[in-house]
Structures are given as C-alpha cells and as structure tokens.
C-alpha cells in the first residue's frame, strides 16, 4: 500500500514539474515573439526616418550636370568618377554640410552650367556708308624738268560699296636739288653717307609737317598737310569719277585752282560755264587750299584714281 502511494506521489510531482515547464516555455516563446515584432517595427521606423529626411536640394542652373546618389556611394568616389577633387565637388554643392554624409536619392551637381555667351554687339555703319568696304593704294611718280627732282605721290583711300569715298590720305616724297652733282643725294652729311652712297633719311611732306615751310609762301597761310587734309574732306562722299569731274571743272591747265580774277581766256571760259553756286564753292576752297592737285609737283588725283583701281574688299 505504501509503495503504491509513493509511486502515485512521484508521478504527480513529475506531472506538476512538466506542466510548470510547459507554461514557462510558452511564456518564453510569447516574449521572444514580441521582441521580434518590436525589433522589426523599430527597423522599419529607422528606414522610414532615413528615407524621409529633408535633404537640401541644390539650385540647379540650366545646363548643369547632376548625379543621383545610390546606396553605397561616397562623395569622394563620386568626385573621382566625375574627374573632380573632393573640394571641387563640395564647392559645386554648398548644400552638403558634411562630406561624409550623403543619402540615396540625393541630387549632386557634378558639372556647373556653361555661362551663356553674351551676344556680339552689332556694329552699325553710318547711314551714308554701306558694307562691304574697300581699301586701295595708288602711287604716281614723275620727274620735274625744271629742276633736278622727282616726286612720288602715294594715296591710301577707303571706299564704300557704292564707290563713295570714306577717307583719303595723301603723302608725297619730293627729292630735289639745284646742283646735278648732288642729285639725288642731299649734300648734308647728316643724311648722306659718302662711304656707301646711300641716303640715310628722306622725309615725306607729311613727315616734315610744319618744317616743310609751305605756310610761309601760301596765300592761305596753311601748311601742306593741312591743305591736303582739306581736299580729302572736300572729296569725302564723292565717287572717284565725281572727283575727276570736279577737278576738270575747277583746275586750270597746270593743275592749279582757277582764280576768280584770272585773265586767262581758257580759265575765264571755265568760270563762265560754272553756276553761281559752283563759283561760290571755288572761292571758298581757295581760302583754305591753293596747292596744285595735278601738276609736275605731283599728281594727287592720278594717285586717287589708281587707289580706286587697286582696291580690295576689307
């Protein structure tokens, strides 16, 4: 009897222990399952926090090149792949405050926009001038029979497409001597090298300037270069043919301007053929310039004609 009771008590204790263990195991499983749910929830919350973080967006100018960050990117790698230094890519992206912290989906500028070219300023030609323009160089040489001398007249002129003169620049080299033994070399030791018989310095009338001395004998009191510039201004706006026609009408046989008080019959006939307006213009010209335009001192009109014949487009 006692033995039977002992067995029953032992079985009851074993069953009690088993039931207690089972309850503990179930409680442990329940606790473990809750932890997993919590951890997953936290992980999801962390991911959501990262992807929804407000990332500064750069101001992207039109024409700039950009790159969108993907997981695993680092700024220095993006810089290297874009042929930039880390400092250069940071300079392009001032919105990045920490070079070690970039986010997937973040837009990064990797090349600045090329500055737009300023439109070229339109050059508007004067109303009286139309492009294209032409420039010509003409030269006429002649000997002076009255002296041991020669002259070389040079004319540089600019014309518009209609052939009208925009500008004229005349100059003349005059080499003269009253002594045939000196011609064509001046006697001054400052300009003549007897050892090799070469001229050291010949100066044109424009180069001589006021030293040429024409003002002392001219009725206008103007030096040669001033008179030459007066004629250039007078002919501006004319064609070469119109200049030739003007000189044919206003010059005498020796290339000088016809004087209003002339006693020469041919010159008087030319004056009579002029209108009152043309006579007034001639009188006005004589007060400023009296130099010959076409005589043995130099053919300035001939040089202008050659400049027109030799013109090339600018």
Q: Which residue has the higher pLDDT, 77 or 131?
A: 77
Please state which of the ranges 2-6, 111-115, 137-141, 307-311 shows the lowest mean pLDDT. 2-6
Which backbone phi and psi does 187 adopt, to 5 degrees?
Answer: -75, -20
Q: Across residues 179-206, what is the average pLDDT?
A: 58
Q: Which residue has the higher pLDDT, 93 or 55?
A: 93
pTM beyond 0.75, yes or no: no
DSSP state letter for 131: S
Token pair belonging to 295 = 């005589």
Summarised one tens digit per residue, pLDDT across range 253-287 is: 888 888 888 888 998 898 899 888 888 888 888 88
Position 79 confidence tier, pLDDT thresholds 50, 70, 90: very high
User: With 70 as the cut, is the pLDDT of residue 40 above it?
Assistant: no
User: Do residues 112 and 64 touch, judged by C-beta distance below 8 A?
Assistant: yes
Which residue blocks in the chain are alpha helix, DSSP H? Answer: 2-51, 75-81, 86-92, 205-208, 224-235, 240-250, 265-273, 276-286, 300-309
Our CA angle for 172, 178, 181, nearest 5°, is 105
Which backbone phi and psi does 283 adopt, to 5 degrees?
Answer: -65, -40
Residue 212 to residue 218: CA distance in whole angstroms: 12
User: Do residues 154 and 183 touch, judged by C-beta distance below 8 A?
Assistant: no
pLDDT value at position 50?
Answer: 40
């Amino acid at each position: 009897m006692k033995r039977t009771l002992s067995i029953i008590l032992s079985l009851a204790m074993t069953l009690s222990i088993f039931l207690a263990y089972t309850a503990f195991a179930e409680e442990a499983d329940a606790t473990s399952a809750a932890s997993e749910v919590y951890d997953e929830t936290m992980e999801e919350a962390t991911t959501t926090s990262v992807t929804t973080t407000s990332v500064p967006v750069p101001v992207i100018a039109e024409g700039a090149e950009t790159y969108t960050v993907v997981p695993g990117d680092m700024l220095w790698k993006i810089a290297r792949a874009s042929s930039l230094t880390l400092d250069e890519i940071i300079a392009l992206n001032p919105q990045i405050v920490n070079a070690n912290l970039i986010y997937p989906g973040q837009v990064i500028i990797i090349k600045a926009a090329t500055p737009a070219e300023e439109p070229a300023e339109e050059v508007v030609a004067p109303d009286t001038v139309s492009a294209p323009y032409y420039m010509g160089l003409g030269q006429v040489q002649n000997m002076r029979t009255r002296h041991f001398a020669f002259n070389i007249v040079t004319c540089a002129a600019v014309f518009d497409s209609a052939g009208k003169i925009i500008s004229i620049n005349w100059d003349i080299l005059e080499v003269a001597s009253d002594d045939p033994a000196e011609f064509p070399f001046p006697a001054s030791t400052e300009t003549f090298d007897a050892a090799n018989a070469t001229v050291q310095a010949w100066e044109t009338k424009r180069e001589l300037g006021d030293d040429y001395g024409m003002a002392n004998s001219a009725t206008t009191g103007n030096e040669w270069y001033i008179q030459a510039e007066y004629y250039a201004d007078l002919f501006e706006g004319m064609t070469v043919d119109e200049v030739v026609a003007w000189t044919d009408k206003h010059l005498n046989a020796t290339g000088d301007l016809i004087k209003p008080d002339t006693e020469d019959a041919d010159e008087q006939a030319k004056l009579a053929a002029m209108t009152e307006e043309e006579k007034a213009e001639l009188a006005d010209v004589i007060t400023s310039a009296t130099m010959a335009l076409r005589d043995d001192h130099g053919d300035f009109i001939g040089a202008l004609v050659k400049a027109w014949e030799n013109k090339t487009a600018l």
